[in-house]
Amino acid sequence: MSRNREENSNPWMAYTDLGVALVSLFILAFVAMATLKEQKAEDLTRTEEEVLSCQEQMRKIAAERNALLSKSLQTSIEAGLIALEDGKIQIQASFLFPINGANLTKEGEGVIRGISKGLLEAMDTTDVIMVSGFTDDIPFSGSTSYTNWNLSTERAVNVVKMLVKMGFPPDRLFAAGFGEHRPKYPNDSEEHRRLNRRVEIGVTPLQSNKTAEVTP
């Protein structure tokens, strides 16, 4: 009789063991999820810190380069041929090109020669140079297919070609034309239009592998 009672109680013991096992598994899963969440939070914090560190390093490099550019290009700046704004060399189109023309004038070639040495001195081994062309909002006259976009692009390309002649590595040079689409000033006066007709030369460090990996 006692033996029968023990046999009858075994299923209840099995259910109890199963319940304990399930609770244990639930606890283990909960702990694992909490640990994983904490690890992800730590990884995210570390990534954000690395991004901020890279950004701070880039700002420091840019500040040092701007100071070097300002010193190296002092003669051209004082002569009023160029301006240095936000780390970019600003050159009025009238100093480089004829009206509605994309080829550098002799004077324009002289301006580029004058800044080449200082620009080369300011470049690091990982830097690239972006030459950007801009126009005012007056449509290009004399052609329906040739636009301000074409004009600004050809001007930027010709400045790049001149820089190559001056010894700049071609694989570090880029050209872009924006036409009238990125004015510095409203095109509401001849003076503002004159200032909008320009070429900008910017020096930018290439992204390191580490920076590329942590940038979201």
Q: Tell me, yes or no, whether 56 lies in a domain.
A: no
- What is the CATH number for 163? 3.30.1330.60
Angle between helices 106-122 and 148-165 (to 10 degrees): 60
User: How far apart are the C-alpha atoms of 45 and 26, rounded to whole Å?
Assistant: 28
pLDDT along the chain (216 residues), means of 10: 52 62 73 73 74 78 81 90 91 96 97 92 88 94 85 98 95 96 95 96 71 40
93: tokens are: 């189109």
Measured between alpha carbons, how far is 63 from 45 in angstroms, rounded to an integer?
27
Q: Is 107 inside any structural domain?
A: yes
pTM comes to 0.71
pLDDT of residue 26: 74
- Residue 180's domain comprises 73-207
Determine the longest span between alpha carbons in the chain, in angstroms. Answer: 118
Domain-embedded: residue 166: yes
Q: Are 119 and 129 in contact (CB under 8 A)?
A: yes
Q: Please, are residues 122 and 68 in contact by the beta-carbon 8 Å criterion? A: yes
Query: Is residue 66 in a domain?
Result: no
CA 140 to each of CA 29, 68, 94, 148, 151: distance values in angstroms, whole numbers, following the listed order: 69, 38, 16, 6, 8
Q: What are the CA-CA distances from residue 29 to residues 17, 23, 87, 93 (Å)? A: 18, 10, 54, 68
Question: How does DSSP assign 22-49, residue by residue?
Answer: HHHHHHHHHHHHHHHHHHHHHHHHHHHH
Residue 115 lies in a domain: yes
C-alpha–C-alpha distance, residues 97 and 185, integer Å: 21
Count of structural domains, the chain:
1
Q: What is the pLDDT of residues 2-26, one digit of tens each?
A: 455 555 555 555 566 666 667 777 7
Let me know if residue 139 belongs to a domain. yes
Beta-bridged to residue 201, according to DSSP, are 89, 131
Q: What single-letter amino acid sits at 49?
A: E
Query: Which residue do the tokens 């034309």 mark?
Result: 177
Rounded CA gap, 157 and 150, in Å? 11
DSSP one-letter code for 65:
H
Q: Is residue 18 part of a domain?
A: no
- 54 located within any domain: no
